[in-house]
Amino acid sequence: MPFQLDNYDVLILHSLLKDGRKSFREISRETGITTPTVKARFSRLVNVGFIKSVSPILNLELIEKGNTLRPELDKKHNKINGNSEVSENDNKKNNKLDSTQQPDGKFKLRKGLKIKLDCEFCGGPVSAEPHVFKFANYERFFCCNGCMSGYKQKYAGRIESIKRKFAGIE
């Protein structure tokens, strides 16, 4: 007899489809199913082969413009031409190098790929090196020290609570 999904399985799968990074506890809170049951059902769905993997979905819109050449090829190209910048025309001439997508449409991940960041406090773009605030197992990115200080001040109580919970877990 084939394996049949029940309501618990469906609720768990819907929750994971929204965000596959959720912990069993988060799924439990969202669905109303106990955490041990969520863990057992997830394991069963993996064991029967229905869940093959939990994979990231990349937001390719966050890749910065002008970030098309692979860094190592960009350096080689500059040395050959003796210039320090690669023009848009140079980029178009050698269409093998001008895209992060391969001919089959698959995206190619590579070292040096730049991703656009928005400030966690003001929402503006982070144009230079981001100011990073690390606490517990979180990282927050800011455009300037002022925004980072404002964030720390605004969310001080929540940050301390998260730090205490994280310290108690480890």
> Tens digit of pLDDT per residue, the chain (170 long)?
366 788 999 999 999 999 999 999 999 999 999 999 999 999 988 887 889 988 888 888 888 776 554 445 445 444 544 444 434 444 443 333 334 555 555 666 777 777 888 899 999 988 888 899 998 878 899 999 999 999 999 999 999 998 888 887 64
Task: State the burial class of residue 139 (Cβ atoms within 10 Å of its Cβ: 0-12, 13-18, 19+).
Answer: exposed
pTM: 0.52
Measure the CA–CA gap between 54 and 5, rounded to whole angstroms: 19
- CA–CA distances in Å: residue 28 to residues 32, 45, 53, 166: 5, 16, 20, 19
